[in-house]
Amino acid sequence: MGKKTQANVNKNKEKRNARKQEQRRIADGMSSVNSANKLKDLATLCKELLVYRNNELEVEMYIQRVTELDKNVLQWAIDLTERNMKHLYETCAWGWNRDRKVEEMTDEGAWYLVAREKKGTLLAFSHFRFDMDFGDPVLYCYEVQVEAEGRRRGLGQRVLSVLEKLADATRMRCVRLTALTHNPSASAFFRACGYSLDETSPGKDEAAHYEILSKLTENQQGGDATQETCPLSDGMKAVQVGNPQ
Ligand SMILES: CC(C)(COP(=O)(O)OP(=O)(O)OC[C@H]1O[C@@H](n2cnc3c(N)ncnc32)[C@H](O)[C@@H]1OP(=O)(O)O)[C@@H](O)C(=O)NCCC(=O)NCCS
């Protein structure tokens, strides 16, 4: 039995404080995730980004929970994912399993951002969720898929901008996603949009066929910005329901 020195007492106190701080950080994160998932209308948080025009395109976007999504739109999203991704899944350890993909895409926590041309043609979508991931509150982008004829017109980038705005307004730490390392166009796209290797990504020595990328929300990019010092955006205040805080 060692003697209880002042240095030991201080060290234990520091450890206890650090543990308490971490518990509070996780509880705050869970509270933000729960609040985000209870929101009725995410569009009010990002409405200035939901119309996208350039020389060739006039696109409108809307956001719905999977449970509200039109069945034909959901079917189109599943088919587009299969057309875009099947061959990439088949050439890695994941393999392609349509039923498993459908199960993931219809999880009750799934939100959808859908982009369609003014005349009605569906062009792009993202499946995303507000969730805790490795102790962080994140907007996890499960899917961003653009029809071949809609690519290289800035639409994918706009879809990510909407997700980033939503993540910021709902006090998430970042937008996080999983990308296949043998999908070079996606890798170039995400990097061009400011995404970089996340701390939770497998190390190079693990030889994984995927990597985790992320981009911090604006409220986190300030450096020390913590959830306590980062107030809710006005938009979120306006539509928030039942914030347990
Ligand atoms: C990857 C994808 C989402 C990009 O969408 P997009 O609408 O074509 O992308 P954007 O037009 O917004 O591109 C923004 C920037 O990203 C980069 N980029 C996009 N596609 C690229 C490609 N194929 N090769 C290299 N860079 C690319 C460019 O810098 C581009 O800017 P620029 O066109 O001015 O040079 C789209 O190609 C796609 O749906 N691919 C198939 C599915 C997929 O791989 N999804 C991602 C994994 S879940």
Mutation pick for ligand 1 pocket among 181, 189, 193 (CB with most ligand atoms within 8 Å): 189
Of residues 52, 216, 211, the one with CA closest to residue 118: 52
Mutation pick for ligand 1 pocket among 152, 191, 213 (CB with most ligand atoms within 8 Å): 152
- Residue nearest atom 8 in ligand 1 by C-alpha distance: 151
Cβ-based neighbour number of residue 218 at 10 Å: 15
Of residues 141, 131, 229, 144, the one with CA closest to residue 172: 131
- Residue nearest atom 5 in ligand 1 by C-alpha distance: 156
pLDDT over threshold 60, residue 151:
yes
Query: For the segment 179-205, what is each residue's pLDDT rounded down to a tens digit?
Result: 999 999 999 999 999 999 999 999 877
**Is residue 48 classed as helix, strand or coil in its secondary structure?**
helix
Of residues 142, 146, 72, 148, the one with CA closest to residue 110: 142
Location of structure tokens 């201080």: 10
The pLDDT assigned to 55 comes to: 80
> How many domains are there within the chain?
1
Ligand 1 atom at minimal distance to the Cα of residue 141: 48
- Structural domain range at position 172: 39-239
**Residue 214 near residue 198 (C-beta atoms within 8 A):** yes
Ligand 1 centroid distance, CA of 40 (Å): 30
**Pure H helices in 144-205:** 155-169, 184-192
Residue 11 lies in a domain: no
Residue 18 lies in a domain: no
Residue 6 lies in a domain: no
| Mean per-residue pLDDT, 66-88 | 98
Point out the least confidently predicted range of 51-60, 128-137, 159-168, 193-202.
Answer: 51-60
CA atoms within 13 A on the CB side of 45: 23
CATH code (residue 199): 3.40.630.30
The pLDDT assigned to 234 comes to: 33
CA atoms within 13 A on the CB side of 185: 10
The pLDDT assigned to 2 comes to: 64
| Mean per-residue pLDDT, 139-153 | 97
Residue 138 lies in a domain: yes
| Mean per-residue pLDDT, 127-146 | 98
CA atoms within 13 A on the CB side of 230: 22
Query: For the segment 116-135, what is each residue's pLDDT rounded down to a tens digit?
Result: 999 999 999 999 999 999 99
- Residue nearest atom 23 in ligand 1 by C-alpha distance: 185
The pLDDT assigned to 240 comes to: 29
Ligand 1, residues at Cβ distance < 6 Å? 84, 143-146, 151-157, 179, 183, 185-186, 188-189, 192
Ligand 1 atom at minimal distance to the Cα of residue 188: 26
Residue 98 lies in a domain: yes
The pLDDT assigned to 70 comes to: 98
Residue 13 lies in a domain: no
**Is residue 31 classed as helix, strand or coil in its secondary structure?**
helix
Per cent of the chain over pLDDT 90 is 81
